[in-house]
Amino acid sequence: MKIPPVKGTRDFYPPEMAIRNFIVDGWKDASLRNGFEEYDGPIFEYLKMFQIKSGEEIVEQLFSLTDRGGRELAIRPEITPTLARMVNQQINSLPRPIKWFSVPRLCRAERPQRGRFREFFQWNVDIIGVDDEIADAEVIFCALDYLRQVGLTAEDIVVRISSRKMLAAVLRSIGIAKNELEPLYALLDKRSKMPGEVFEKMLADTVSDETKRKKILELMNLASIEQIEDCFNFSEEIKESVGELRRLFELLDIMGVGDFCRFDANIVRGLAYYTGIVYEFYDKCGELRAIGGGGRYDNLLKQFGGPAISATGFGIGDCVLGILLEEKGLLGKQLNQRKPDYFVACADKELFLKAVEVTARLRAAGKSANFSYKSANLGKQFKEASAQNAQKVVIIGEELSKNNELVIKDMNNGQQELIDLDKFFG
Amino acid sequence: MKIPPVKGTRDFYPPEMAIRNFIVDGWKDASLRNGFEEYDGPIFEYLKMFQIKSGEEIVEQLFSLTDRGGRELAIRPEITPTLARMVNQQINSLPRPIKWFSVPRLCRAERPQRGRFREFFQWNVDIIGVDDEIADAEVIFCALDYLRQVGLTAEDIVVRISSRKMLAAVLRSIGIAKNELEPLYALLDKRSKMPGEVFEKMLADTVSDETKRKKILELMNLASIEQIEDCFNFSEEIKESVGELRRLFELLDIMGVGDFCRFDANIVRGLAYYTGIVYEFYDKCGELRAIGGGGRYDNLLKQFGGPAISATGFGIGDCVLGILLEEKGLLGKQLNQRKPDYFVACADKELFLKAVEVTARLRAAGKSANFSYKSANLGKQFKEASAQNAQKVVIIGEELSKNNELVIKDMNNGQQELIDLDKFFG
């Protein structure tokens, strides 16, 4: 009976696994270099944990299940609610600031397409307990530190930055009521994914007043932070949020990544819990979906039953990033190649067990080593050694039977030497 | 609103994550050293994939779900069916032997207890396409190579080895019908987990003939392979399976791990698909459940719609192993400690942004570096640096403003030196 893989999932054969490991290992290195510690939670949580704060879009994409004890669960579509739960559970013993990262496996029942699967890996980097743009700057820097390290530059990547607080303040200043904000965010977040006329029609359905609609479009088209002050009634709220954006850009400049970053009022983010600065990472060609995004979510811990503690962080998935790295030619030469230290060949079938023994001793000594199951002739074994990229070949032949010696051939320069077996392992 | 974690799951805070990483990284190192390549599959598969061949026990423990497209799925309780599916899909292009490993996240709705959770990680090592005990020996060696490398010895660990083929041959030779084998396997597998009287009562329910029951108990109590020949009607089938066991033990001796291994007819394995040699890894104190186990499953690929190709492999979970490593005192000193290369401190609040800049430049140069958000006095920043195990502290003070110089203090020997900023990054 043949059973196919499930729609939207991926099989990681060794070549695909090498790419996934290259991406994930790079994420981990950058996180540690930037002072973050790794955590993880369970693959499923109570369903209601994702229904409350993540927003409608994610709820529709949940893989939910009921276990034998009648618990309503869901496979995690994101890890931030788990992070909030875990931090709340140990809030009194965790030293702050909490600088944590994770690389969770996540599932969302989205329509599979280029760069989008129903199961993916997402790099999450968060700082909890720092109510200052330095934390937002540090997580954005961490992402860019990784992207630069794998070879991407400001020619390839742009971080589009805005602020939910600024957006809310401006929208309120032009007369949008507080309860109208949520549906408007959802619409504005999708603006770049639909034709202009469609957006304007949907906007008209959401906001009936034409003057307000014009103001919203004006805001969306602003080219710089300065223009916010020029164009809108400058309330204290707007002033504060613009000040935060200014300071963030200043910090990113000081950190040496200012050339990657630009203001873009179109950035709103789909998740419901963001409260301040928000941003998304894009390839500059603009042909791919966002590589990732994040922002400040100062109310989430409290909403999950904890104290009021500010938090900020981002998520970057492996799918769009993988396509970008491949397109830019950054995968091939950087992938960890298989390169065993030794291949143990035997000159005679009779010596096969001796080859097994030597291989086992090499491995026990911490060396990577292989041998051939086939006890074929030496030529074929050398071919196998080459195919595996073995650095050295150990030949078990009559030298061993006669003088207890091994022949070691360096596959890089072709040189051979004789070594006493006991000295070799001494 | 406070939402608890789901029963039987684990939260990995940084200290627990460090243990998980220590275990998983060791598994990966040992696999690569032994010539295995990494693969992975999706977290869920079609439900029927696990219903067919894994056996009743696992089916009862499935976390199953129906997705929005009406597909009946299950979170994977093991990865072997996925391995069979993946190998079958590319059977014509994969060079053989296939030596693969994986560290899947698995879920089983078992009753949580010491060393058993509903979600765990399992090291899987398999060889496909080698119909010889050398493959069984190599996967067992790989497991022992790992266990030795983390500090466990033949004083701590025993591999109990038997053969389903031998068991079937002996049972048939004493008159057990073929269709009676499966339920008998399930019972024999549980023998060591129940009191003797309970087992004998259940055995009487399964096998009515007293003479047969006596023979079965006799087999279970055999102390060596030799005794099989002495005690049972020696059919060709028995002879062949005993020969395989003999050769396996010979190979394990040659590989230098014979002292870990012993014959034990009680080893049957719970999974339904095993066909030949089977084994389980135990701590020698015998207080813990099995650390892991495996065996030969020569029919599985064919049962999943592929060709008849022999296969063998094992799974070792992280839960019991973690307890054992902790009990033996093998975790503490081996865990990767956080040890940033640099901590950047500023002598004056005014210099905070300079500290941010230097930290960012260090990270961009591939060094791990931290700074304090608080711009507290130098003493407190040094305390923070010590708490983080920083190797060196960079002090941003008037030396920088006046002479463009940094003070670098080596935290290991207390020595300080002045370095020109540009030279430092040169």
Q: Identify the three-state secondary structure at position B386.
A: helix
User: Model-level pTM?
Assistant: 0.95
Buried b (16+ CB within 10 A) or exposed e, A156-187: bbbbbbbbbbbbbbbbbebebeeeebeebbbb
pLDDT of residue B283: 96
Q: One-letter amino acid identity for B62?
A: L
Smallest Cβ–Cβ distance between B1 and the set A17, A63, A305 belongs to A305
Burial zone of A388 (CB within 10 Å; 0-12 exposed, 13-18 middle, 19+ buried) = middle
Q: Which of B73, B3, B24 is nearest to A103 (CA)?
A: B24
Chain A partners of B2 at a C-beta cutoff of 8 Å?
Answer: 88, 304-305
Token pair of A347, please? 């000159």
Burial zone of B185 (CB within 10 Å; 0-12 exposed, 13-18 middle, 19+ buried) = buried
Question: Between β-strands B277-283 and B292-296, what pairing exists: parallel, antiparallel or unpaired?
Answer: antiparallel
A58 pLDDT higher than 90: no
Chain A partners of B305 at a C-beta cutoff of 8 Å?
Answer: 1-3
Contact A65 B68 (CB under 8 A): no
Q: How many CB pairs under 8 A join A and B?
A: 236
pLDDT of residue B291: 97
CA dihedral of residues B242, B246, B251, B253 (deg, nearest 10): 140
Q: How far is residue A157's CA from residue A262's CA, in Å, rounded to a whole number?
A: 11
How close B52 comes to chain A (CA, Å)? 10
Q: How far is residue B164's CA from residue B185's CA, in Å, rounded to a whole number?
A: 9
Q: What is the ipTM of this complex?
A: 0.94
Chain B partners of A119 at a C-beta cutoff of 8 Å?
Answer: 42-44
Q: How far is residue A146's CA from residue B366's CA, in Å, rounded to a whole number?
A: 10
Chain B partners of A361 at a C-beta cutoff of 8 Å?
Answer: 256
Chain B residue with Cα closest to A51? B3
Contact A109 B67 (CB under 8 A): yes
Contact B251 A85 (CB under 8 A): no
pLDDT of residue B338: 82
Smallest Cβ–Cβ distance between B7 and the set A69, A338, A356 belongs to A69
Chain B partners of A52 at a C-beta cutoff of 8 Å?
Answer: 1
Buried b (16+ CB within 10 A) or exposed e, A76-90: bbbbbbbbbbbbbbe
Chain A partners of B46 at a C-beta cutoff of 8 Å?
Answer: 3-4, 6
Q: How many other CB atoms are there within 10 angstroms of residue A20's CB atom?
A: 16
Chain B residue with Cα closest to A358? B255
> Using alpha carbons only, how large is chain B's radius of gyration in Å?
28
pLDDT in tens, B102-161: 999 999 999 999 999 999 999 999 999 999 999 999 999 999 999 999 999 999 999 999
Contact A5 B45 (CB under 8 A): yes
Q: How far is residue A80's CA from residue A111's CA, in Å, rounded to a whole number?
A: 22
**What Cα–Cα distance (Å) separates residue B87 from each residue in A3, B23, B132?**
12, 27, 19
Q: How many other CB atoms are there within 10 angstroms of residue B96's CB atom?
A: 13
How close A63 comes to chain B (CA, Å)? 6
Smallest Cβ–Cβ distance between B21 and the set A7, A38, A88 belongs to A38
pLDDT of residue A214: 93
Interface-testing mutation among B49, B373, B389, with chain A (most A C-beta atoms within 10 A): B373
How close A181 comes to chain B (CA, Å)? 23
Q: Which of A290, A252, A298 is nearest to A270 (CA)?
A: A290
Smallest Cβ–Cβ distance between B65 and the set A20, A65, A305 belongs to A65
Contact A2 B90 (CB under 8 A): no
Contact B4 A67 (CB under 8 A): no
Chain A partners of B43 at a C-beta cutoff of 8 Å?
Answer: 43, 75, 105, 107, 119
Smallest Cβ–Cβ distance between B12 and the set A39, A141, A254 belongs to A39
Q: What pLDDT band is residue A90 in, cutting at 50, 70 and 90?
A: very high
pLDDT of residue A77: 96
**What rounded mean pLDDT belongs to chain A?**
94
Residue range B59-84: mean pLDDT, rounded? 95
Residue range B307-313: mean pLDDT, rounded? 96
User: Is there a contact between A176 and A208 (Cβ–Cβ < 8 Å)?
Assistant: no
CA–chain centroid gap for B248, Å, is 22
pLDDT of residue A146: 98
pLDDT of residue A230: 80
Residue range A374-390: mean pLDDT, rounded? 91
Strands (E), B299-348: 311-317, 342-346
Region of poorest pLDDT, from A9-23, A28-42, A217-231: A217-231
pLDDT in tens, A393-426: 999 999 999 999 999 999 999 999 999 999 999 8
pLDDT of residue B160: 97
**What rounded mean pLDDT belongs to chain B?**
94
Residue range A258-264: mean pLDDT, rounded? 97
Residue range A268-295: mean pLDDT, rounded? 91
> Where do the domains of chain B lie, and which CATH numbers do they carry?
14-334 (3.30.930.10), 342-425 (3.40.50.800)
CA dihedral of residues A174, A178, A180, A183 (deg, nearest 10): 110
> Using alpha carbons only, how large is chain A's radius of gyration in Å?
28
Q: How many other CB atoms are there within 10 angstroms of residue A253's CB atom?
A: 15
Interface-testing mutation among A25, A43, A101, with chain B (most B C-beta atoms within 10 A): A43
Interface-testing mutation among A61, A67, A94, with chain B (most B C-beta atoms within 10 A): A67
Chain A partners of B17 at a C-beta cutoff of 8 Å?
Answer: 37-40
pLDDT of residue A200: 92
Alpha helical stretches, state H, A296-425:
300-303, 318-327, 352-364, 378-387, 398-403, 421-425
pLDDT of residue B286: 80
How close B336 comes to chain A (CA, Å)? 12
Q: What pLDDT band is residue A232 in, cutting at 50, 70 and 90?
A: confident
Q: What pLDDT band is residue B56 in, cutting at 50, 70 and 90?
A: confident
pLDDT in tens, B257-284: 999 999 999 999 977 789 999 999 999 9
Q: How far is residue B374's CA from residue B379's CA, in Å, rounded to a whole number?
A: 12
Residue range A15-44: mean pLDDT, rounded? 97
DSSP B51-72: HHHS-HHHHHT-EEEE-TT--E
Contact B257 A360 (CB under 8 A): yes
Contact A11 B304 (CB under 8 A): no
Contact A35 B340 (CB under 8 A): yes
Residue range A353-379: mean pLDDT, rounded? 94
Chain A residue with Cα closest to B75? A75
pLDDT in tens, A215-229: 999 999 998 998 888
Contact B370 A255 (CB under 8 A): no
Chain B partners of A338 at a C-beta cutoff of 8 Å?
Answer: 32, 37
Chain A partners of B45 at a C-beta cutoff of 8 Å?
Answer: 3, 5-6
Burial zone of A74 (CB within 10 Å; 0-12 exposed, 13-18 middle, 19+ buried) = buried
B7 pLDDT higher than 90: yes
Q: What pLDDT band is residue B335 in, cutting at 50, 70 and 90?
A: confident
Smallest Cβ–Cβ distance between B373 and the set A130, A149, A305 belongs to A130
pLDDT of residue A233: 72
pLDDT of residue A351: 93
| CA angle A375–A379–A380, rounded 5-degree value | 55
A29 pLDDT higher than 90: yes
Q: How far is residue B122's CA from residue B66's CA, in Å, rounded to a whole number?
A: 25
pLDDT of residue A176: 93
Q: How far is residue A290's CA from residue A94's CA, in Å, rounded to a whole number?
A: 33
Interface-testing mutation among B1, B9, B12, B13, with chain A (most A C-beta atoms within 10 A): B13
Residue range A319-338: mean pLDDT, rounded? 89
Chain A partners of B149 at a C-beta cutoff of 8 Å?
Answer: 366
User: Is there a contact between B158 and B284 (Cβ–Cβ < 8 Å)?
Assistant: yes
pLDDT in tens, B180-205: 888 899 899 999 889 999 999 999 99
pLDDT of residue B83: 97
Chain B partners of A353 at a C-beta cutoff of 8 Å?
Answer: 251, 254
A107 pLDDT higher than 80: yes
Contact A3 B304 (CB under 8 A): yes
